[in-house]
Structure 1
Amino acid sequence: MALLTLTNAHLAFGHVPLLDGADFSLEAGERVGLIGRNGTGKSSLLKILAGIDRPDDGSLQLQSGVRVVYVPQEPDFNDDATVFDTVSEGVAEARELRARFEAHAPGDDLDALQTRLEALGGWTWEQRVDETLQRLRLDPAGVIARLSGGTKKRVALARALAAQPDVLLLDEPTNHLDLEAIDWLADLLTGFRGALVLITHDRAFLDAVATRIVELDRGHLHGYPGNFAAFEAAKQRELEAEALANARFDKLLAQEEVWIRKGVEARRTRSVARVARLVKLREEHRARREQQGKVRLDIDRGASSGKLVAELDGVGKRYGDKTIVQDFSAIFLRGDKVGLVGPNGAGKTTLLKLILGQLAPDSGTVRTGSNLTIAYFDQMREALDPEKTLADTISPGSEWIEIGSQRKHVMSYLGDFLFAPARANSPVKSLSGGERNRLLLARLFARPANVLVLDEPTNDLDIETLELLEELLQDYDGTVFLVSHDRRFVDNVVTSTVVAEGEGRWREYEGGIADWQAQSARSAAIEAAARPAPTPAPKAPEPAVAPSTAKKKLSYKEQRELDELPARIEALEAEQARLAAEIGGTALYTESPQRIAEVTGRHAAIEDELMQLLERWEALSHRG
């Protein structure tokens, strides 16, 4: 029997149906990723499953005794409370019952209290809280007001886990978490023994955690077994089949419309049944809810900057006793797309300001290029005035907006970002988190810029908008500096990654997060292999011999290997391109699961082989 079941649920805001006869059930041990467009009602659905809100129609049934705990996007805390007291709120009932039992006021049924206390594990609630705090690496004496956004997320999870729920509902749990914390959370949730429903747009996180994907689309819930990668393949086939069915339907409707408008002779002999079918087709066409419009993103690129954007040489920066940047050198050119990766508090914002010449270094030099026009995406949305309307936010005092050589009406421009004309005069404070991010992107892209600085732009954006934003940034011919913990987004956008390696050390790697991790792992393995084994106790010293400074020449076999390496690398790259085209197409997914696994597995293995060959080529080249 399912832990919870939602049947024929209906929910509407105004004339927009968010749930339209939706059905959902959750089995024990399932980890469900709930995805869908911003504004489709995912958070509303999660609140209905938590029992916080009720649908307009339909029913929610819970298995007897099931405990459901909900963690919202922005958890509510008492800022003056300690971490221990806040997490203890998760066992509030057990704590209160034990206090009542120990006080044993007249009229209390002590047997009933004891039975309930044992069911809740109330005799050891302090131990449960302590164990949860240790597991989530939290300081029980910490004060909520002094915690970072990422640590507050951990406190909210700790409060939920201390309750030992059978069903855990999480709304955007990865927001404000850095890469290390996201990996930690993925491990935590995959080890969670209860059932889980989570809303997230982090595709790599979904791949690591989810056992089923449920998409909320046009008021209905569609389930797909497996993680997000499996969903993508299934969804592509489904959308193609839907487009084909709609095309056939439209063709039939067009044929019937032509027939009904024929001359007098045809009308005299027309079939009543055929006319009835046409009427039915027209009704179905009106009722058919087309796939929701796609956001259209464009950007005013402004004038080109000089070829050099920034050159840093031995740059250092300290705040008090803390070293933020130490001896960092790099060159950034026009068109580079640079990811900055590091734990929260590592100094990514400080490094960005140094690169852009907005902060003077304590040591070293920074040279910035000419004609730089910088546009910022603000992580905390401080640039948005909640009282202003959407139209005034985009184009204050004017109905028109200039984007490059184009002139657009503000209503049309907002429509490109999926804001209906009726909402143009709504205040910013009426928007959801994802809609505010979309509005901030609209505001950013309306300004001429040849350098974009994007600080966590992916928070609260739906997956389709993320993919479109990726395409825009890939095609953008200016320079991009990107701070994000969404590893799939970073990997799909950046050309290089600057990584915090501790104690103020930063290092630039070619490629994205996956490339950095692969290169770091290989470097560590090479260093470990090159490290000499422990030597026995030294013997009597021999006469010193002057060290040779000459390079050891390549042997005949090594020289032959070096000559053959370019052709081998080229062949692997060609095979990789062919497999990528096959994976990106549709024919592969009509074949057997074994064939799909074979192709995707080989595509992943080629990357490792290429890196090994490139490293071997570099090593031999230096000696040759």
Structure 2
Amino acid sequence: MALAFSTATRTEQCDNPPPRIHSCPMPLLRLSNACIAYGHVPLLDHADFLLDAGERVALIGRNGSGKSSLLRALAGTGALDDGESWRQPGLKLAYVPQEPGFDAAQTVFEAVVTGMGSASRLLAEWHEVSHQLTIVDSDHDALLAKLNHLQHELEVVGAWSAANQAERAIQRFSLDPEAKVGTLSGGQKKRLALAQALASEPEALLLDEPTNHLDVGAIEWLEEMLLGSGISLLFVTHDRRFLDRLATRIVELDRGNLASFPGSFAAYQARKAQMLQDEAIQNRKADRLLAQEEVWIRKGVEARRTRAEGRIRRLEALRAQRAERRDKLGAARLALDAGDKSGKLVAELKNVNKSFGDKVIVRDFTTRILRGDKIGVIGPNGAGKTTLLRLILGELEADSGTVRLGSKIEVAYFDQFRAALDPEARLVDVISPGSDYVEIGNQRKHVIGYLEDFLFAPERARSPVKSLSGGERNRLLLARLFARPANVLVLDEPTNDLDIETLELLEQLLQDYDGTLFLVSHDRTFLDNVVTQTIASEGNGRWKEYAGGYADWLRCQSDRRTETKEAAGASRQSQKQAAAIAKNSKLSWKEQRELEALPGRIAALEAEQGTLSARLEDPAVHAAGGDGQKIAARLEAIDNELMTLLERWESLEGRTA
């Protein structure tokens, strides 16, 4: 079903509007009869699309189906083979690609203002001068004069507010404006790309896999920010929880066509399943009719009679329809060989510590990992998740504490940066170098057939890795990983770029896996569906174990905050009650008599103090054998006694107020 069907009613109303009552709103973005082909496969096949103001549209589809190509066409960075791409005149549009490119020599501030047009040079220079003013030995007078000149130029071109926008965006994403882009991590570069897009205050935002390389905290912050921004969105994501929270409509790209599904992802899944079932029934009917007609045409003489010409033309039409029909792509068939079982104990850590310089990565961590455990590792970027895993697997020596490894451990790694893939290598060589076969368990399979299980067509098996999309590279890396037996799997962000259907298959595979699993992922749904326990960063090098997945960890955190608030509230209440009791309690008979006697006692001491002070001024007192020292000691004692009596008087008086 094409998206045009979902907008047909509105189009009819636009063509025949009720006179002088209301007109149709103008869309922000539109694709009309759009066509894009990759080789012989059409990615967009005369497709139509509209994005209206206020919409948040999730674009989903299989890896390699053309989602990124569609975004590039709408953003103006990619071309259509045919059809039209249109945007509303004057629309402020921002686009964040899947792998944003930056000049490594630029600072973060310079990169953010690069997208601000002609004012970007002035903004970068203004920021540099502002930074120089903070240096002690700078020529402040000259710099201030230059800064005033730059501010005037920015006001002339109407870009002065852009400086504040850029600084707010950088602060919002916790970036250092002076840091060089080349020193940033993958997660920081993704945040930089988002900051660059949002600094221009766009009306419409196109996001291609915005959650890749972001930690869970950053993803949740991004969700809240986009929900409250009012920006119209078209985004591609594999993160089902991110999709569910943001999407007001889902558009699926399937075999070159766009289909629109209003509402949630769950509603889309139910409706899509029904559509595929109906499509399968119609295809079976068409195939049955075609087979009957093919039998009839082969009868020869009867088919050549004039009265049968109409039936022959119908047969030719059925053949043409069958040739044009693109059947649904098959599902990936994943299989994983756990090999020989490891020992029951995989690893045991006791009071382990690890630091790099002044930064503590692991502090006094103790754990015991058993065969079959499925462990999720949660923490912000830079917390040390990879370091912790290397300590657990004995690949990194601890500064202190003990690490004991089990027996018969065979480890396989999935690297989120795909460092194991040579861009120039052919797919078949990546999977099985020097051989045409792979062995999975007790089954021997040809490498091309094995690649087909991971949705790589035979004609692509000898293509280079560099020709693959991000999702296809992840599928290839999974195929390479699963082609070797391993009883311990370490998966570092395996979900990046994978389509939702493949994600669900991978979840099922890992649930059934007999070995031990370590999973680092920002995909909250994936964690909940796979892991049985979680190791989470508590900050300052502290790590703690929790039973269950992400939702269980989140619930524990919420319960802990609630308990802390309740304890703090109870403590404050207890203090208030104690103060009230002390204030409102009546004096006893003895305390009342003590209070009445205190003024007399204080007066007597003050009188004695005056007399002794006068005696101390007499020179004769300090003569040989005089009492000067005794008098001074008595005066000091009187001072102390007076202080005690005054404090007691204040306390008793306060209780009678």
Common topology (TM > 0.5): yes
Unaligned runs of 5+ in 1: 100-115, 541-624
| Residues 1:168 and 2:205 are matched in the alignment | yes
In structure 2, relative to structure 1, the CA distance for the partners of 1:295 and 1:121 (3 Å cut) is farther
* Deviation string, structure 1 residues 26-54 (Cα, Å, up to 9, x no partner): 11111111111111111111111011122
Amino acid at match of 1:92: G
Instruction: Give the Cα separation in 1 of the matches to 2:225 and 2:158.
Output: 22
In structure 2, relative to structure 1, the CA distance for the partners of 1:346 and 1:255 (3 Å cut) is same
Q: Which residue of 1 is the match for residue 254 of structure 2?
A: 217
Kept after mapping to 2: 8 A contact 1:95/1:122: no
In structure 2, relative to structure 1, the CA distance for the partners of 1:319 and 1:123 (3 Å cut) is closer
Shift of 1:317: 1.9
| Residues 1:248 and 2:285 are matched in the alignment | yes
Instruction: Give the Cα separation in 2 of the matches to 1:120 and 1:36.
Output: 43
* Deviation string, structure 1 residues 332-387 (Cα, Å, up to 9, x no partner): 22221111010011111111112112222223322222111111111111111122
- 1:59 aligned to which of 64, 68, 84: 84
Instruction: Give the Cα separation in 2 of the matches to 1:98 and 1:510.
Output: 50
Q: Which moved more, 1:237-246 or 1:64-73?
A: 237-246
Q: Which residue of 2 is the match for residue 436 of structure 1?
A: 473
| Residues 1:504 and 2:541 are matched in the alignment | yes
| Residues 1:36 and 2:73 are matched in the alignment | no
Show the 5 A alignment for 1:324-335: 324-335=361-372
* Deviation string, structure 1 residues 166-220 (Cα, Å, up to 9, x no partner): 2211111111100001111111222233322111111111112121111111011
Secondary structure in 1 aligned to 2:229? coil
In structure 2, relative to structure 1, the CA distance for the partners of 1:122 and 1:288 (3 Å cut) is same
Q: Which residue of 1 is the match for residue 639 of structure 2?
A: none
Q: Which residue of 1 is the match for residue 444 of structure 2?
A: 407
Amino acid at match of 1:427: P
Kept after mapping to 1: 8 A contact 2:59/2:236: yes
Q: Which residue of 1 is the match for residue 492 of structure 2?
A: 455
- 2:373 aligned to which of 336, 357, 364: 336
In structure 2, relative to structure 1, the CA distance for the partners of 1:12 and 1:119 (3 Å cut) is farther
Q: What percentage of residue pairs aligned between the two structures are identical?
A: 62
| Residues 1:74 and 2:99 are matched in the alignment | yes
Amino acid at match of 2:549: G
* Deviation string, structure 1 residues 564-621 (Cα, Å, up to 9, x no partner): xxxxxxxxxxxxxxxxxxxxxxxxxxxxxxxxxxxxxxxxxxxxxxxxxxxxxxxxxx
Instruction: Give the Cα separation in 2 of the matches to 1:51 and 1:269.
Output: 55
Kept after mapping to 1: 8 A contact 2:162/2:200: no
The number of residue pairs the alignment matches comes to: 524
In structure 2, relative to structure 1, the CA distance for the partners of 1:92 and 1:443 (3 Å cut) is same
- 1:484 aligned to which of 510, 516, 521: 521
Secondary structure in 2 aligned to 1:175? coil
Shift of 1:478: 1.0
Shift of 1:84: 1.5
Normalised by the length of structure 2, the TM-score is 0.75
Instruction: Give the Cα separation in 1 of the matches to 2:186 and 2:467.
Output: 23
Instruction: Give the Cα separation in 2 of the matches to 1:28 and 1:342.
Output: 36
Amino acid at match of 2:548: G
In structure 2, relative to structure 1, the CA distance for the partners of 1:424 and 1:503 (3 Å cut) is same
In structure 2, relative to structure 1, the CA distance for the partners of 1:118 and 1:527 (3 Å cut) is closer
Q: Which residue of 1 is the match for residue 644 of structure 2?
A: none
Instruction: Give the Cα separation in 2 of the matches to 1:270 and 1:286.
Output: 26
Shift of 1:133: 2.4
Instruction: Give the Cα separation in 1 of the matches to 2:519 and 2:371.
Output: 15
Shift of 1:137: 2.9
Shift of 1:162: 1.8
RMSD: 2.7
Greater Rg over alpha carbons, structure: 2
Show the 5 A alignment for 1:90-105: 90-95=115-120
Amino acid at match of 1:207: D
| Residues 1:318 and 2:318 are matched in the alignment | no
Q: Which residue of 2 is the match for residue 191 of structure 1?
A: 228
Shift of 1:450: 0.8
Show the 5 A alignment for 1:151-300: 151-257=188-294, 273-300=310-337
Kept after mapping to 1: 8 A contact 2:47/2:257: yes
Amino acid at match of 1:143: K
Kept after mapping to 2: 8 A contact 1:314/1:328: yes
Q: Which moved more, 1:87-96 or 1:200-209?
A: 87-96
* Deviation string, structure 1 residues 510-569 (Cα, Å, up to 9, x no partner): 2110111112212332454456433315979xxxxxxxxxxxxxxxxxxxxxxxxxxxxx
Secondary structure in 2 aligned to 1:139? coil
| Residues 1:125 and 2:150 are matched in the alignment | no
| Residues 1:514 and 2:551 are matched in the alignment | yes
In structure 2, relative to structure 1, the CA distance for the partners of 1:313 and 1:2 (3 Å cut) is same
Shift of 1:407: 1.0
Q: Which residue of 2 is the match for residue 308 of structure 1?
A: 345
Q: Which residue of 2 is the match for residue 141 of structure 1?
A: 178
Instruction: Give the Cα separation in 2 of the matches to 1:436 and 1:194.
Output: 32
Kept after mapping to 1: 8 A contact 2:74/2:86: no
In structure 2, relative to structure 1, the CA distance for the partners of 1:266 and 1:162 (3 Å cut) is closer
